[in-house]
Amino acid sequence: MNTNIAHAKSIGLVLSGGGIRGMAHIGLIKAMKEQGLDAKIISGSSVGALVGALYANGNSVEDMLQFFKDTPLFQYNFFAIGKPGFIDTERYFNIFKGYFPKDSFESLEKPLFVVATDLLKGEEKVFAEGKLIKPLLASAALTPVFSPVEINKTLYADGGVMNNFPKEYVDGKADFIIGSNVSIAGEVQKKDLKNSLQLAGRITGLMIYAASYGKLKECDLYIEPKELEKIGMLDKKGIQKAFTIGYDHGSRALEGELKMKN
């Protein structure tokens, strides 16, 4: 792999899951644009898949942020009745259709790999062709908040469960790989582990982070902003803050890389 970003013929971009913290991915993309850098291939899980799809679709940074501001995470009429999960994920379909009217991977400007979890087989599933919106909804269907999405008689949910940092799908397809991880497993206090729900969340977070850590370190350049720990996964008030954190970290990392290589 070519480790000189200034002379790389192609850049691969890997975007992790992590809820609203994923707005940091958009900040990184803005920093890349300012440096004249454009990824040729993208892989993402959960919110990383959504940001990756918008980027691959040619949407501006402003449009990407607006998408997440417009998406009504907790509208009461979106609550699921008779479905697993609190929110009926498929009710978002029409919102997504406004951004992806052709509803296909082939209509995107760049190759995109979207990871979801097959709940029936208990395995990872990658989508890269055919219909786009349902795989995106499935990848971002954070359990247990959002209901699973049915595709070809199989139920799919959050891609982060099986593969929160799907670097393997860009390996060998780009000269230089940039990674962005927003699922941070930082230090917590004893008061943060008072009940079984908090404990389960902490254990799950640590498992996801451990599975991603090695792959993140294999990237030619990556950001993993620790400040994101203070932003809740579903805190819509954190959109602008997470974006700014990602932009600041991305700018510093890219400037340092370009300065070192030139």
Please give the positions annotated as active site: 46, 158
* Cα–Cα distance, 236 to 161 (Å, whole number): 22
In DSSP terms, 221 is beta-bridged to: 178
> Token pair for residue 10?
């192609």
Residues 21, 183: contact at Cβ < 8 Å?
A: yes
Residues 43, 50: contact at Cβ < 8 Å?
A: no
Torsions phi, psi for 74 (to 5 deg): -130, 40
Q: Alpha helices, DSSP H only, in the chain?
A: 23-34, 47-56, 61-70, 93-99, 133-139, 196-218, 239-261
* Cα–Cα distance, 41 to 142 (Å, whole number): 24
Closest CA to 169 of 42, 3, 5: 42
Write the CA distances from 259 to 24, 51, 221, 262, integer angstroms: 23, 28, 13, 5
